[in-house]
A and B are shown apart, each in its own frame.
Chain A
Amino acid sequence: MLVSIQNIREIPKKVASTNRQYLAVGIFAMLMLTIPLGAGVYPNTVMVEVGFYSIVTMGLILVMGFAGQISLGHAALFGCGAYVSGILTTQYHFSPWLALFLAAVFTGGVAAIVGRAMFRMHGLILAGVTLALNLVFFHLISSLSDLTGGAMGMMNIPPLSLGGFTSQNLLFNYYLLWIIAILLLMFSLNLANSRVGRALRSLNAYAGGSEDAAQVLGVNIMKYKVWVFVLSAVYASIAGSIYAHYTRIIEPGTFMLQFSALVALMAIIGGRSSPWGAFLGAGLIVGIRQLLQEFIPALVGGPSGSYELIAYGIILVVALLFLPQGLFPIVQKAMPKKKAIMS
């Protein structure tokens, strides 16, 4: 039987469903860009926090959800971006925008070197090694006090500025962060539906892929693991740099294991099968955290931090038991039906 022209003509129709993704991104972008207009300072501040976490989580989803590689070291990558940006602008007086770019290149470079060694390992050992990244980063930052300010951290990091606005301005920061988040979402979705995305999914043994099968089809599994980790590091670095220029103060305690665990939790809750999961996970967890910070001290007294950890633990267990694929598939099912090429 010959390949009918009709079959080939059907292909663009199927691919057209990716246009639906663009439509979804467009609607999402409109929504996110109009939210701050009617909202007050508090909701906008919370949404900025969601934006930071969404970018880092999106990168992690590419590594975990697509390539099936565990990473519990994203705090180090986020911190690397923040510190390199901070050092370049405060110590060497680079422009903050250039610093942001160089920080992403540096963090990506570090991820490439670390990734080559790291991805020779699998499973729990890989998880352990990525966990160790947080510790190495923490001790490195703490001990290089001349450059980083040590345990005291760095202060007076200059803000990003554009057209007379600076990232000290909440709205400027909101738009900057969310425009970048939406652009990275587009990039990630394009990647997911491409040759690269398929190669990444082919080696995800946790979701039905097979490294052996991928290799005999010509997929260089080490290259893809390392490159997706590099990309993920660049995402984290961009978020870290913006964070540093937004808060203007950074200290090592921000970039510890708890941050990595939180981002992993967001990826699990939101759904690892799609970059959209990052926004769902980050939105939900940050929202819950805000509620806990608001209500728990009022109800039972004491600081909310200890309750947060308990809440995260409960959320994780519940999610793994009842929503192992995260929230995204549920949201996807609730959306108007029209068969997409891939979930």
Chain B
Amino acid sequence: MKVNLAGMKSVAVPKKERRSGAVDAPLLEVRNVSMAFGVLTVLNGVSFSVPVGNILVMIGPNGAGKSTLLKLISGLLPLQEGEVWFRQKRLNRIAPHRIASLGITQLFQDIQLFSNMSVIENVMVGCHLRAKADFMSSGLRLPRARVDEQSVLATAMSQLSLVGLEQKAWANPGSLSWGQQKLVGLARALATGSELLLLDEPYSGLLTVEVDKLNQLILELQRQGITTLIVEHLTDILMGIANQVIVLDHGEKIAEGTPAEVQHNKRVIDAYLGSEQMADEGS
């Protein structure tokens, strides 16, 4: 499938910053982040950084703390220890909607599409930060609100076209297959115009053809300069597209490197890949 991003206006790094060389700094830096729920330590001193345009894949067994880390980055969980920096701005104690406005958005494992809206409206919520219409201008349907609405609608439609679901624009999300819902979730996330996408298990429940489509889309986004942080279990699929892999186990980072490096890391084999291989051999 050919993916065309012609409809995307907001693309990663602003020209001003490209010129200033600010892109040389990592887009995202996680420094010594720890998190505990009561006595249970979920993350313990995790640090890593993601350069602009990279596809970072974070793998690890269930309960390794991957999803928690994504929520800490997007601000849905408050940071207890450590720091998160995005484009040299410290994200600690910043509300999630402010973090979204800085250029980070998240696709949830369970998608969380709004079932009280059509598919296109879901994506239009993703365009929320692109528009300015407030209560008064919306309620009075002032010209600027109408122009805003048209532009948001067109942008949302272009995002849906990107994932090949423009024909489903007026459907209820509940009527779509799981894979299609994931793509709508991705279109919604892309509609924010974010520079960093946090994708929590985007491949789970997808058919092979949908996996290929998603891979192509992520690679195309990379070409457009969008950085992706993927949390996933399906390591084989991701090793082909990842620039950087991080392995978490019991809340600690046990390995980091290129896919090839990580695949040959003994700790990783023992903690995660090994157990998968054993499971495969057993089956």
Seen from chain A, the residues whose Cβ lies within 8 Å of a Cβ on chain B are 1-4, 7-8, 11-12, 14-15, 187-188, 190-191, 194-199, 201-202, 204, 207-210, 212-221, 227-228, 231, 273, 339, 341-342
Contacts and interface: CB of A to CB of B under 8 A. Distances in A.
B149 A195 contact: yes
Given A3-B166, A198-B125, A202-B125, A215 B114 contact: no
A341 B128 contact: no
B4 A1 contact: yes
Interface string B240-251: 000000000000
B187 to A, nearest CB: 12
A216 B196 CA distance: 12
B150 A218 contact: no
A145 B138 CA distance: 41
Interface in B126-146: 126, 128-129, 131, 133-135, 138-141, 145
17 contacts: A1-B164, A2-B7, A7-B166, A12-B150, A14-B170, A187-B140, A194-B141, A196-B138, A201-B116, A202-B114, A209-B116, A212-B112, A215-B96, A216-B189, A217-B128, A218-B105, A273-B116
A208 B108 CA distance: 15
B97 A218 contact: yes
A216 B100 contact: yes
Nearest to B75: A215
B152 A220 contact: no
Interface stretch (B14-22, B54-62, B153-161, B260-268): B153-161
A209 B97 contact: no
B100 A215 contact: yes
Interface of B: 2, 4, 6-7, 74-76, 95-97, 99-101, 104-106, 108, 112-118, 121, 124-126, 128-129, 131, 133-135, 138-141, 145, 148-150, 152-154, 157-158, 161-162, 164, 166, 170, 188-189, 191-192
Given A3-B7, A201-B116, A202-B125, 20 more contacts: A1-B4, A1-B164, A2-B4, A2-B161, A187-B140, A190-B138, A190-B139, A191-B135, A195-B128, A207-B116, A209-B116, A210-B112, A210-B114, A216-B74, A217-B188, A217-B191, A218-B97, A273-B116, A342-B117, A342-B118
B100 A208 contact: no
Nearest to A190: B141
Contact of B129 (A11, A187, A208, A218): A218
Contact of B97 (A8, A15, A197, A221): A221
Of A221, A339, A341, chain B has the most CB atoms within 10 Å of the CB of: A341
Contacts of A209: 114, 116
B134 A217 contact: no
Contact of A219 (B2, B74, B128, B133): B128
B76 A196 contact: no
